């Protein structure tokens, strides 16, 4: 019988460090550096591409810069962060635009929560990778 083993040793201190770094980066990019133009524009039925690309580029650049300082061999994870953020935010924006959701709709908040959860799971996955390879 084959069994699944989850025996993976990751230094807890490194994992906590990377989670704090990536969570801080997420707060910075998703809330402090995201303008109204980006936040509303990326969910619009038309003209969403530029606000979405600028927002996701900010995530990618800040992640890359942070990694260049803290773990330069993993600089390319900024591109991964950019790509995942682009896909997640586009999916949310497509749903918001298609179903004409606003802050008055419960589904809008469900989508926002799912969007944020996926971003945090992405950060967790990156933190695991970084902590395991430090």
> For the chain (length 134 residues), average pLDDT per consecutive 10?
66 97 98 97 97 98 98 98 98 97 96 97 97 90
Quote the CA–CA distance of 67 and 65 in Å, as a whole number. Answer: 5
Q: Looking at residue 8, what is its pLDDT? A: 74
Residue keyed to tokens 């330069």: 72
CA separation for the pair 95, 92 (Å, rounded): 5
**C-alpha to C-alpha distance for 60 and 65, rounded to whole angstroms:** 9
CA distance 49 to 10: 38
Number of C-beta neighbours around residue 112 at 10 A: 15
| 29: nearest Cα among 50, 5, 57 | 57
What is the reported pTM? Answer: 0.91
Tokens of 27: 């707060």
Tokens encoding 57: 């580029």
């Amino acid at each position: 019988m084959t069994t699944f083993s989850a025996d993976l040793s990751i230094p807890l201190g490194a994992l906590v460090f990377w989670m704090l770094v990536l969570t801080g980066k997420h707060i910075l990019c998703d809330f402090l550096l995201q303008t109204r133009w980006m936040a509303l524009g990326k969910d619009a039925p038309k003209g969403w591409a530029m606000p979405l690309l600028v927002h996701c580029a900010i995530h990618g650049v800040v992640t890359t810069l942070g990694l260049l300082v803290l773990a330069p061999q993993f600089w390319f994870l900024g591109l991964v962060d950019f790509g995942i953020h682009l896909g997640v935010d586009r999916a949310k924006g497509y749903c918001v635009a298609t179903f004409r959701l606003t802050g008055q709709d419960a589904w809008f908040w469900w989508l926002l929560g799912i969007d944020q959860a996926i971003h945090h799971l992405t950060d967790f996955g990156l933190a695991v990778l970084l902590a395991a390879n430090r």
